Amino acid sequence: MCHSSWALGVGRRLLDELSRYAVARAGRTGQIADSDAFHTDFARAEAKFRAAAALVRETWDDVERTLDSGRTLDVRQETMVRLALNHITSTITEVSHFVYASGGTSALRDGLIQRLFRDVHAGAAHITSGPQSLRECGRELAGLAAGESWALFGLEP
């Protein structure tokens, strides 16, 4: 499943760390714990992450059923593996920006949030999460790659 399990872990950890940060500062004047905008944005980040995670898990379940039955993946399943990875990586990149911005100066200092932010951006730069893969997924999903199959990072006749 490529790097999608890493993305699930780091995305979840980012949100959990931000929650801990907010709880630790609750009750102090001017902190994010008292901000309606923060509450709304946290809910959106959580929903985005969970939706992307659901796509990954749905894709994993389908792949597992196919492999357990002794069959090989078809082109659509391989497309979905790549799409799920690309989507979860893109989503956690968005989430990391929210967490980093919400963390204030604490996020700028050496520590877990800063490390997770850097890890997300390193992972997002990987070729498996790049625009070429997403483009190829779109071609296949739109029915424009008939007779083609996946070879490394693209579809070929």
User: Measured between alpha carbons, how far is 145 from 40 in angstroms, rounded to an integer?
Assistant: 40
Mean pLDDT of the region 6-31: 90
**Is 25 within 8 Å of 31 (Cβ atoms)?**
yes
pLDDT at residue 29 tops 70 = no
CB contact set of 117 (below 8 Å; sequence gap of 6+)? 14, 96, 99, 100, 107
Long-range contact set of residues 139-143: C-beta below 8 Å, sequence gap at least 24: 140/75, 140/76, 140/79, 141/79, 141/83
Confidence of residue 33 (pLDDT cuts 50, 70, 90): confident
Which run of H or of E encompasses 154? strand 154-156
Confidence of residue 30 (pLDDT cuts 50, 70, 90): low
Determine which of 24-28, 60-64, 132-136 has the lowest per-residue pLDDT on average. Answer: 24-28
User: Measured between alpha carbons, how far is 140 from 24 in angstroms, rounded to an integer?
Assistant: 47
Supply the pLDDT for residue 2: 77
Question: 110-154 pLDDT, tens per residue?
Answer: 889 999 999 999 999 998 888 999 999 999 999 999 999 999 889
Q: Is the pTM of this model over 0.75?
A: yes
**DSSP per residue, 91-152:** HHHHHHHHHHHHTHHHHHSSSHHHHHHHHHHHHHTSGGGSHHHHHHHHHHHTT--TT-EEET
CATH number for the region 4-128 comes to 1.20.140.10
CA distances from 76 to 120, 144, 146 (A): 27, 12, 11
Question: 76-104 pLDDT, tens per residue?
Answer: 999 999 999 999 999 999 999 999 999 88
**Is 4 within 8 Å of 85 (Cβ atoms)?**
yes
Query: Chain-wide mean pLDDT for the chain?
Result: 94
pLDDT at residue 23 tops 80 = yes
